Amino acid sequence: METPIADFVSAYLQSGVSRLHMPGHKGRGPLGCERLDITEIAGADALYQADGVIAQSERNAAALFGTAATFYSTEGSSQCIRAMLYLSILHAPSGGKRPVIVAARNAHQSFVLAAALLDVEIVWLWPEDDGFSLCRCGISPLQLEGILKRLSRPPAAVYLTAPDYLGGAPDIAALAETAHRFGAPLLVDGAHGAYLKFLPHSTHPIDLGADLCCDSAHKTLPVLTGGAYLHVSRHAPADFMENGKRALALFGSTSPSYLILQSLDFANRHLAEDYPSRLTACAARLEVLRAALRGNGWIVAKSDPLKLTLAAAESGWDGKELAALLRQGKVECEYADPDFAVLMATPENTEQDFNRILSALGHNPRQKPLLRRCPVLLPPETVCSPRKAAFAPSESVPASLAEGRILAAPTVSCPPAVPVVVGGERISQSAIEVFAYYGISSVQVVRER
Ligand SMILES: Cc1ncc(COP(=O)(O)O)c(C=O)c1O
C-alpha cells in the first residue's frame, strides 16, 4: 500500500530546499527525527482541510478498517472522544435542553472532561458484575433497555469503553442493537482495540455495530504516541462523516505533528502487508504464555488477545507487588492496582520479552487469594452538572476528609484515568474508601462559601 504522506516528506528532504518555514529547528537537532518533522507547507496537505496526501492516506486507512471514513488524530483518542460527543450532539439537537448521553461508568476521564466542556448530562450505566473494579463495567442490553425506556427522549448517544483497561468488553453487538432500537447512535471508546480489526475474526466495535469509534493507534499498533483514528461506520448517520473533520478541528492544534502523520501512514502499509499474520502469531504466543503461567499457579484473567491480565489478588499478591517483581526481572508492565497487573504486548515484542515474564514470575509461592476486596462504589448523589462543577471555584483537600464535598474535576490515578467520582457528584464514604484503595490521596472539590 502506498504511503503518500511519508513519500511527500521524503521527496521534500531529497529536494534540499531551504526551510524558511516552521518548525524552528529547520530539520536539525539532537533527536535525529527533526528532519522528518515538517509543517503544513505547499503539497503537504492540511489535516483539517485534507484533499491531498493526508486525504489519500486516510482513505487507505478507511479501506483497511472497512469504514465510511477514518480520520487521523495526532492528539490521541482524547481528541477523538471530544469529537464523538460533539458529533452526537450536533446530530440530535435537544431543543435548548442539555444533551443527554448514556454511558458505562468505566469511562476514561477524557469523556468526563468532554462532557463538562460540552455541557452534557450523563446518565450512568453502573456495573452489574460482582467484584467492583474501577476499570471494569459489566453491563447488559436489558439494563440499557431499562434506562432508555425511562428517558423522556432518546439520548444523543450511548457510550461504551471496549476493550477496557483489564481487557474486558461488554456485548457490543447486542448493546448496539438496543441503542439503535431507541434511536440512539452507539459511540465506542476503542482506545485499546485498534488491532482487533486485523485478527482472523474481527471484534472491532465498528464491525459489531458502533456508529463512531476511536482507536489509539499508538496503543496497540506500531505508531508514535498521539496517533489515533476516528472511525465512522458505513451505517452511521451521514452527518457524522460530513462533520467529522470539523469536529476534530474544534479540539485540535493547528500544528499537527507530521511525525505522527507519517507514522499513521506507514501503519497502513504494515496493516496491508504482514501485520495481521504477525498479530495472530502474537496472540497465539500470549495464549501459550497464559497456559504456562496458569501451570505455575498464577490466575490469569480473561482479556482481549493482546493483554495479559494477571489476577494478582486472586493469586495471593497485590498487583503493585507483582509489578515490582516483574520490574526486578526487567519487565515493565502497563498498569497495576491492588487487584490486577496488566501487560500489553504487540508483534514488536520479542521472544526474550515473553521468556522474561515467565521467569520473573516463576512458580507462584502464594496460592491463597488475598482476602481484601475493593470496596463497592455506591452511585454518588449528583448535585450539579460536570460543567458547573468544572467552572466553580475549587480547592484541593485530602481525600480522607472530603466526605460530603462536591467534586470539581475528576482526580484520577493514571493509568487507568477512570474517575471514581465525576465533577458535580457528592463524595460519599464509599467513594473515600475507593479513593484510598486506589491510592488517591487528594481531590479537587468545589469551594464552600
Ligand atoms: C480507555 C481509554 N480511553 C481513552 C484514552 C485516551 O487515549 P489517548 O491517550 O490516545 O488520548 C485512554 C488512554 O490511556 C484510555 O485508556
**Looking at ligand 1, which atom is closest to the CA of residue 414?**
14
What residue spans in the chain does CATH classification 3.90.105.10 cover? 386-446
Q: Is 76 in the pocket of ligand 1 (CB under 6 A)?
A: yes
Please state, in angstroms and rounded to a whole number, the distance separating the CA atoms of residues 332 and 356: 11
Please state, in angstroms and rounded to a whole number, the distance separating the CA atoms of residues 27 and 42: 17
How far is C-alpha 113 from the geometric centre of its chain's CA atoms?
Answer: 14
Distance 380 CA to ligand 1 centre (A): 24
* Position 403, amino acid: E
The cell numbers describing 34, all together, are 527533526
Strands (E), 98-227: 100-104, 121-125, 157-161, 186-189, 212-215
Please state, in angstroms and rounded to a whole number, the distance separating the CA atoms of residues 112 and 149: 24
> In a mutational test of the pocket of ligand 1, which residue from 72, 73, 75, 78 has the highest number of ligand atoms less than 8 Å from its CB?
78
Domain 276-361 is found in CATH 3.90.1150.150: yes
Please state, in angstroms and rounded to a whole number, the distance separating the CA atoms of residues 35 and 58: 23
What local confidence, expressed as pLDDT, does residue 128 receive? 87
3-state DSSP assignment of residue 424:
coil
Q: Is 216 in the pocket of ligand 1 (CB under 6 A)?
A: yes
Cis-peptide, bond into residue 415, ω within 30° of zero: yes
Asked whether the beta carbons of 252 and 77 are under 8 A apart, the reply is no
- Could you count the other beta carbons within 10 Å of the beta carbon of residue 253? 11
Looking up cell 435542553 gives 97
- The two beta strands, 157-161 and 300-301, are unpaired
Please give the chain's pLDDT, 449 residues, in tens. Answer: 999 999 999 999 999 999 999 999 999 999 999 999 999 999 999 999 999 999 999 999 999 999 999 999 999 999 999 999 999 999 997 788 999 999 999 999 999 999 999 999 999 999 987 778 889 999 999 999 999 999 998 999 999 999 999 999 999 999 999 999 999 999 999 999 999 999 999 999 999 999 999 999 999 999 999 999 999 999 999 999 999 999 999 999 999 999 999 999 999 999 999 999 999 999 999 999 999 999 999 999 999 999 999 999 999 999 999 999 999 999 999 999 999 999 999 999 999 999 999 999 999 998 799 987 788 888 999 999 999 999 999 999 999 999 999 999 887 777 788 999 999 999 999 999 999 999 999 999 999 87
Ligand 1: residue whose CA is nearest its atom 10? 76
The cell numbers describing 57, all together, are 492516506
- Could you count the other beta carbons within 10 Å of the beta carbon of residue 288? 11
| CATH class of the region 4-272 | alpha beta
Task: Give the DSSP per-residue string, 316-367.
Answer: TS-HHHHHHHHHHTT---SEE-SSEEEEE--TTS-HHHHHHHHHHH-S-S--
3-state DSSP assignment of residue 379:
coil
- Could you count the other beta carbons within 10 Å of the beta carbon of residue 304? 22
Cis-peptide, bond into residue 170, ω within 30° of zero: no
Distance 366 CA to ligand 1 centre (A): 34
**Looking at ligand 1, which atom is closest to the CA of residue 107?**
1
25-28 contacts at long range (C-beta below 8 A, 24 or more positions apart):
none
What residue spans in the chain does CATH classification 3.40.640.10 cover? 4-272
Please state, in angstroms and rounded to a whole number, the distance separating the CA atoms of residues 131 and 114: 29
Q: What is the largest CA-CA distance in the chain?
A: 67
CA distances from 431 to 42, 46, 106, 159, 163 (A): 54, 45, 14, 23, 24
Looking up cell 475549587 gives 394
Looking up cell 526474550 gives 352
First-to-last C-alpha distance (Å) of the chain: 62
Q: Which residues contact 220 (CB under 8 A, 6 or more apart)?
A: 192, 193, 194, 195, 306, 344, 346
What residue spans in the chain does CATH classification 3.90.1150.150 cover? 276-361
Distance 28 CA to ligand 1 centre (A): 31
- Could you count the other beta carbons within 10 Å of the beta carbon of residue 363? 9
E strand or H helix at 301, and its extent? strand 300-301
Q: Is 77 in the pocket of ligand 1 (CB under 6 A)?
A: yes
> In a mutational test of the pocket of ligand 1, which residue from 73, 75, 105, 110 has the highest number of ligand atoms less than 8 Å from its CB?
110
**Looking at ligand 1, which atom is closest to the CA of residue 225?**
10
What local confidence, expressed as pLDDT, does residue 93 receive? 79
Q: Is 109 in the pocket of ligand 1 (CB under 6 A)?
A: no
> In a mutational test of the pocket of ligand 1, which residue from 108, 187, 307 has the highest number of ligand atoms less than 8 Å from its CB?
108
**Looking at ligand 1, which atom is closest to the CA of residue 164?**
1
Domain 386-446 is found in CATH 3.90.105.10: yes
Strands (E), 385-424: 394-398, 407-409
Q: How many residues would you count in the chain? A: 449
Distance 448 CA to ligand 1 centre (A): 33
How many CA atoms does the CB half-sphere of 250 hold within 13 Å?
A: 17
Of 433, 440, 431, nearest to 398 by C-alpha is: 440
Distance 108 CA to ligand 1 centre (A): 7
Q: Is 161 in the pocket of ligand 1 (CB under 6 A)?
A: yes
